[in-house]
Amino acid sequence: MKLSIAIPTWESHGRGVEFINDLLRTIEIQTFKDFEVCISDHSLNDEVMNEVKQFEDKFKIVYEKNSQDRGNGPANTNKAIHMCSGNIIKVMFQDDFFYDDEALEKIYDELESSDKFWLVNGSNHTKDDGNSFYWDLYPQWNPDIINGRNTISSPSVLSAKKEVFNQVVFDENLVMMMDCEFYFHAKKKFGDPIYYNDVLVSNRVHSEQISSQYNELLDSQDKLKSEVCYCIEKHSK
């Protein structure tokens, strides 16, 4: 298997089926075909699992119901990555989807022909309906990323050779900083990524996002400040 797509899933407050359906439909029409989809599902019910089954005759799917660390997004993401057998692993969150039908082909060709170990691609944002698109983001490095200045985007823009994920994982103590800390750690270990500016992925903005749930429960600035302090201490050792 040349490429794996790692997808952590959960009920997403009743919208998990809608989100995973949208994502899998954009995977189905990819021009690159030598891939598998690895899904670690934190859902309490079987709705996401039943929806995933509708695609099993279209491409290879490795599905696992994950009852450990339920509610911990980084842990579920790490589990999905661990399930992957491909030489290159593409991370996708279930509420995001591919914007470009040639996304997997472009990612694979770039990483296979490069001595760099990881890649971050361009992305845009879509409102809740998944139809209107705005704010193209072209990834670039920000030396202040460890302080939460994310100029790359969500983990859905991340792809890497398998050896990266053998040494760098998403920190399971984090929520708001899980992406920034991973990028910082990966750059320390493996150097600069490929900054691939084609917009390949759409990030969906909606109220069921994990980060939005935290914003309702506590002051987001205090949460971010706490996680930034944790990251700085972790990487100063």
Q: How far is C-alpha 56 from the chain's CA centre?
A: 21
- The least confident of 6-15, 57-66, 129-138, 173-182 is 129-138
What is the average pLDDT value for the chain, to the nearest integer?
93
- The least confident of 27-41, 44-58, 136-150, 211-225 is 211-225
- The least confident of 150-159, 195-204, 220-229 is 220-229
pLDDT category, 149, cuts 50, 70, 90?
very high
Percent of the chain with pLDDT over 70: 93
- Flag whether pLDDT at 214 surpasses 50: no
For residue 154, give both structure tokens: 């969500």
Q: What is the CATH number of the domain that holds 183?
A: 3.90.550.10
pLDDT category, 119, cuts 50, 70, 90?
very high
Q: 146, 77, 87, 88: which is closest to 121 by C-alpha?
A: 88
Task: Judge whether 155 and 179 are in contact, CB under 8 Å.
Answer: yes
- Flag whether pLDDT at 227 surpasses 60: yes
Q: 77, 57, 81: which is closest to 68 by C-alpha?
A: 77
What is the DSSP annotation of the chain? --EEEEEEE--TTTTHHHHHHHHHHHHHT-S--SEEEEEEE--SSSHHHHHHHTTTTTSEEEEEE--TTTT-HHHHHHHHHHT--SSEEEE--TT-EES-TTHHHHHHHHHHT-S--EEEEEEEEE-TTS--EEEEE-----TTGGGT--SS--GGGEEEEHHHHHH----TT-STTHHHHHHHHHHHHH---EEEEEEEEEEEP-TTSHHHHHHHHS-HHHHHHHHHHHHHHHHT-
Task: Judge whether 66 and 42 are in contact, CB under 8 Å.
Answer: yes
Q: What type of residue is 226?
A: S
pLDDT category, 223, cuts 50, 70, 90?
confident
Domain count, the chain: 1
Q: 46, 43, 44, 26: which is closest to 35 by C-alpha?
A: 26
Packing angle of the helix pair 178-190, 220-235 (nearest 10 deg)? 20
User: Which has more confidence, 219 or 168?
Assistant: 168
pLDDT category, 83, cuts 50, 70, 90?
very high
- Flag whether pLDDT at 48 surpasses 80: yes
- Flag whether pLDDT at 213 surpasses 50: no
pTM of the model: 0.94
pLDDT category, 49, cuts 50, 70, 90?
very high
Percent of the chain with pLDDT over 90: 85
Residues 97-117 have pLDDT tens digits of 999 999 999 999 999 999 999
Structural domain for 107, as ranges? 3-235
- Flag whether pLDDT at 207 surpasses 70: no
HSE, CB side, 13 Å, CA atoms: give it for residue 133: 14
- The least confident of 71-75, 152-156, 213-217 is 213-217
